[in-house]
Amino acid sequence: MLGLLAAVLFIALNGFFVAAEFALVKVGTTNLSAKSKRDPKFQRAELVVSNLERYLSVTQLGITLASLGLGWVGEPAIEHLFVAAVAKATGHEPNQALTIAATAIALTLLTFGHVLFGELIPKLIAIQKSEETALSAAGPLHLIFVVFRPLLFVLEASTKVLLRALGMSADAASEGKLSEEEVIGILVASAQKAPEGKHKAELVERVIRFSQRAARHAMVPRVDVKSIPIETTGKEAVKILRDLQYSRIVLTKGRSLDEVAGYLYAKDVFLSESGIENVHLDTLRRDVLFVPEQKGLLDLLREMQKTQIPIAVVVDEYGGSSGIVTLEDLLEEIVGEIRDEFDEEPARISRVGETNAWDVDARAAMEELRAIGIEVKADVAAEAVGSIVQERIGRIPHTGDKTDLCPGVTAEVSGMSRRRITSVRIRVLPEGGA
């Protein structure tokens, strides 16, 4: 009977160490650190979790010793009880066959109890109640660490030597770090559970992606930028602004966008004290920012906030202008397209008459294709569809050129302006189609 009690004790100890191990890995230090400042009982748990490598060695040692103890005590105890019960029931002396059967039954029962009560149940409890489990286990784990410190030191040192010899990290905490994509996935999944979760999830993902993008991903390409020479008269400028329905327009020296002088605010023209007829645009010119293509959108937004300049000229490696980015462009990267009373631009993606076909504006980002259920792997999710198609074709494209975006999805150039793709027709082929 004492052997059975010892077996139950070893299973319970195994379960404790398994639960502690999973709880420590799952709970993380961020939440505990915040709570430990308000409640002292969290301080011990924070200490243990912040030294994850050390205390994982404690749990592994405990699991190993508990499993060895279970096999050493439990199997003989169950075997002895089974043989004694059979011998008493039959009145015969135990033989070799009975002993073998008893051993098999003992191992089966021990394995079942060990896996169920020593592994699975503690593991599930730790996953669902990680914080509570970590709080309960922190004290005993620290005590065990103090008692077995010399042995644990030898184990840790041996582990580090072997891992480094294999070219692997010896930092156990690094195993618990989440990748950027995993963090995004967790945040999006959490947002989706809230009311209006879909919209919140999209906003969360946009905010995170915003910090990953550069100015070249949000800019209006040079070929689409409207500008006027700074020598233009006030009357001509007003006519252009009214025709374009712009509140701001880029000013250039001459007609080259490589010589940007600033930008003109329409209100300044209309409120000019000298009158529209006599105004000189040079006196109304406002400064623009000049930024490299690789400048992060988050840094650009901060610079616009600091300087209060809402327009930036994106410059390539040769010093030429690649395009412009406005404050509105940056906001649209986060909240989606913003339309004012003058915006009449059609949707970037629209379904056409035939089944599984869409007309896509070449300026649409690859990630916008998710709206029609198409996931295309690209180095940068914000890369324009037209850029990807032109890269896949490998030359200056012509109307009618086709390429594969991904298995089962084709893209056909449907619109060109000079040597630039303006629109693409995307088709999703039926399974087995060509």
> pLDDT by residue (tens digit) across 325-364?
999 999 988 887 766 655 555 677 888 876 788 899 888 8
Q: Give the three-class secondary structure for 40.
A: coil
Whole-model pTM above 0.75? no
What does residue 378 show for φ and ψ, rounded to 5 degrees? -135, 155
Tell me the C-alpha distance between 171 and 201, whole Å.
33
Task: Spell out, as residue ranges, where the chain has pLDDT lower than 70.
Answer: 1, 28-40, 91-92, 94, 169-184, 186-188, 190-198, 338-346, 354, 377-382, 431-434
Q: Which two tokens stand for residue 134?
A: 């970590």
Listed residue (250, 247, 244, 245) closest to 219, CA to CA: 250
Tell me the C-alpha distance between 333 and 279, whole Å.
36
pLDDT at 434: 47
Q: Are strands 420-428 and 409-417 parallel, antiparallel or unpaired?
A: antiparallel
pLDDT at 173: 46
Tell me the C-alpha distance between 30 and 38, whole Å.
14
pLDDT digits (tens, 9 = 90+) for 280-331: 899 999 999 999 999 999 999 999 999 999 999 999 998 899 999 999 999 9
Specify the amino acid at residue 310. Answer: P
Helix, strand, coil % over all residues of the chain, rounded to 5 = 55, 15, 25
Contact 55, 48 (CB under 8 A): yes
Q: Are strands 311-315 and 289-292 parallel, antiparallel or unpaired?
A: parallel
pLDDT at 125: 92
pLDDT at 223: 86
Listed residue (110, 63, 57, 40) closest to 82, CA to CA: 110
pLDDT at 424: 92
pLDDT at 103: 84
